[in-house]
């Protein structure tokens, strides 16, 4: 997320054609009000996160004369119109800060789609065009972390459902899903924003940029746990005939760390579990001062997770909890990080439950399935103008394309309220200001509200109507009920 040269110049952090839009508004245009929402898509709810990072990184740094010169050269070189006077005016009239006010739902809030998340308006009628000018950067800053945060939050509800059914330890919830996505994303910036979004829901991550972003932009303290893990390069270097020695070396080297994760699929996963872990190293695993994670990294994620759990129970035994499900001894667990996605996770839990295995026997990691397998259309994010003031008169505006009902946009200056236990978007003038959940967070270069990471976590864990996640857990719940 660090600032560097042209990539951080807000004047060219946009679609090139944005530079010709200022002249397309009616004469006398003074104010343009726009909003951002998820227009619906794959998921029944959204967890809003990420705006503060964008504001602090980009909008609180003023444009300079050098930025204007650079932008003019780049834009004109592409054959696009460039209005230098517009930007010199912002530099001279507003010290280089965009004259805009942004209000937003508090970060960490979970709410249904088709609700306003962000609303913005210019603060100087001379620069009415600025509201929509930086749409490209602002929308990207909102849709990506919010989509990842929503996937992570909904995965949390899946895990919660499984724990409630099969485990006596619901307090394990925040430790059950690890972020392994750093190598699977398109950029370090994606790792930063997606990684911090996941950390709102879980305390497990190896995505260092996400940890750094949570600290830099949200004042996070300790937000993540990790531990010694293995990779195939180190184990392969010992040779197949010395696979047991490779695992033994790791157990000895990191015995004081309290946890090690042993790869068992370097060659033959079943052999490694039954004959190395359950043979030569059995006593060492039993006496390890902490947790030994057995990490299958290949095969069908649904079957291999339950198979591995049962093999370990054959080796080390198990107890039966108050709900009638089998639990491995505390010193050993399955750690599954291959093939785990938002869609496969419920299938894994249904198979574990079918076999009488408690959810807590396995912890999971997601990589690209968490941070990369999604785009703006996953939740159909859009930013649209909803109201303009022309010659002193406000006009409510909206698009209503034929053949694309979901693209019909909202009219008017908007507010977000609690209504009958649900969040609802209404006209701003229809409610008292104190009822509006949208909070001013930025105005003319100033951060008006700074959210702390602990506030995001607390807000994300507030009770919500079951409708916010029922569609996601319905199949799993039905499977669990059939097993009664």
Domain boundaries, the chain: 5-146+379-471, 158-371
CA atoms within 13 A on the CB side of 205: 29
**pLDDT at residue 3 in the model:** 47
Mean pLDDT of all residues belonging to the chain: 95
pTM for the structure as a whole:
0.95
pLDDT given at position 484: 58
Look up residue 11 and give its DSSP letter: T
φ, ψ for residue 130, nearest 5 deg: -70, -25
Task: Report the alpha-carbon distance of residue 53 to residue 32 in Å, rounded.
Answer: 24
Decide: 51 and 118 in contact? Cβ < 8 Å: yes
Q: Which residue has the tokens 């499984």?
A: 162
10 Å CB burial of residue 481 (0-12, 13-18, 19+) is exposed
Give me the residues of the chain with pLDDT under 70, please: 1-5, 483-484
Task: Identify the helix (H) or strand (E) that includes residue 423.
Answer: strand 422-427
Other C-beta atoms closer than 10 Å to the C-beta of 309 total: 25
Q: Taking a C-beta distance cutoff of 8 angstroms, is the pair 309, 336 a contact? A: no
Alpha carbon separation from 225 to 120, 189, 202, 339, 394 (Å, rounded): 37, 21, 10, 22, 52
Cβ proximity of 62 and 70 under 8 Å = no
Local structure of 353: helix, strand or coil: helix
What are the E-state strand segments in 244-324? 259-263, 291-295, 319-320
Query: What local confidence, expressed as pLDDT, does residue 4 receive?
Result: 53
Contact 324, 363 (CB under 8 A): no
CATH superfamily of 5-146+379-471: nicotinate phosphoribosyltransferase (3.20.140.10)
Q: How many CB atoms are closer than 10 A to CB 22?
A: 17
Distance, first Cα to last Cα, the chain: 50
Domain 158-371 top-level CATH class: alpha beta
Q: Are strands 177-179 and 362-366 parallel, antiparallel or unpaired?
A: parallel
* Alpha-carbon span 187 to 92, nearest angstrom: 35
Determine how β-strand 393-396 pairs with β-strand 439-443: unpaired
């Amino acid at each position: 997320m660090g600032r560097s040269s042209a990539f951080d110049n807000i004047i060219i952090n946009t679609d090139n054609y944005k530079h010709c839009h200022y002249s397309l508004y009616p004469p006398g245009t003074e104010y343009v009000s726009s909003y951002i929402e998820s227009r619906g898509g794959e998921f029944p709810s959204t967890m809003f996160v990420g705006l503060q990072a964008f504001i602090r990184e980009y909008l609180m740094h003023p444009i300079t004369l050098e930025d204007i010169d650079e932008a003019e050269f780049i834009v004109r070189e592409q054959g696009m119109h460039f209005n230098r006077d517009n930007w010199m005016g912002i530099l001279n009239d507003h010290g280089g800060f965009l004259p805009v006010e942004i209000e937003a739902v508090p970060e960490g809030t979970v709410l249904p789609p088709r609700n306003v998340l962000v609303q913005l308006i210019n603060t100087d009628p001379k620069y009415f065009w600025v509201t929509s000018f930086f749409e490209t950067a602002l929308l990207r800053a909102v849709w990506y972390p919010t989509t990842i945060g929503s996937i992570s939050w909904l995965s949390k509800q899946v895990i919660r459902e499984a724990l409630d059914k099969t485990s006596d330890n619901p307090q394990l919830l925040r430790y059950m899903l690890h972020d392994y996505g750093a190598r699977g994303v398109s950029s370090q910036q994606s790792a930063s924003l997606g990684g911090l979004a996941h950390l709102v829901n879980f305390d497990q991550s190896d995505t260092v940029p996400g940890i750094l972003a949570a600290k830099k932009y949200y004042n996070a303290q300790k937000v993540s746990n990790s531990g010694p893990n293995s990779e195939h390069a180190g184990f392969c270097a010992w040779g197949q005939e010395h696979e047991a020695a490779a695992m033994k070396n790791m157990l000895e080297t990191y015995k004081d760390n309290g946890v090690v994760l042993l790869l068992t699929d370097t060659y033959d996963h079943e052999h490694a579990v039954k004959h190395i872990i359950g043979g030569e190293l059995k006593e060492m695993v039993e006496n390890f001062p902490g947790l030994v994670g057995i990490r299958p990294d290949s095969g069908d994620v649904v079957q291999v997770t339950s198979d591995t759990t049962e093999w370990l129970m054959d080796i080390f035994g198990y107890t039966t909890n108050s709900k009638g499900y089998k639990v491995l001894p505390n010193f050993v667990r399955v750690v599954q990080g291959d093939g785990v996605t938002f869609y496969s996770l419920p299938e894994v839990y249904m198979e574990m439950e079918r076999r009488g295995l408690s959810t807590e026997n396995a912890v999971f990691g997601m990589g690209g399935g968490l941070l990369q397998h999604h785009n703006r259309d996953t939740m159909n994010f859009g930013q649209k103008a909803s109201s303009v003031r022309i010659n002193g008169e406000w006009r409510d505006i909206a698009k209503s394309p034929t053949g694309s009902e979901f693209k019909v946009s909202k009219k008017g200056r908007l507010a977000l309220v609690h209504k009958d236990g649900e969040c609802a978007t209404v006209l701003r003038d229809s409610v008292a200001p104190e009822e509006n959940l949208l909070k001013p967070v930025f105005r003319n270069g100033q951060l008006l509200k700074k959210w702390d990471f602990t506030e995001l976590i607390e807000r994300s864990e507030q009770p919500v109507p079951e409708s916010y996640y029922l569609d996601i857990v319905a199949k799993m719940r039905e499977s669990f009920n059939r097993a009664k």
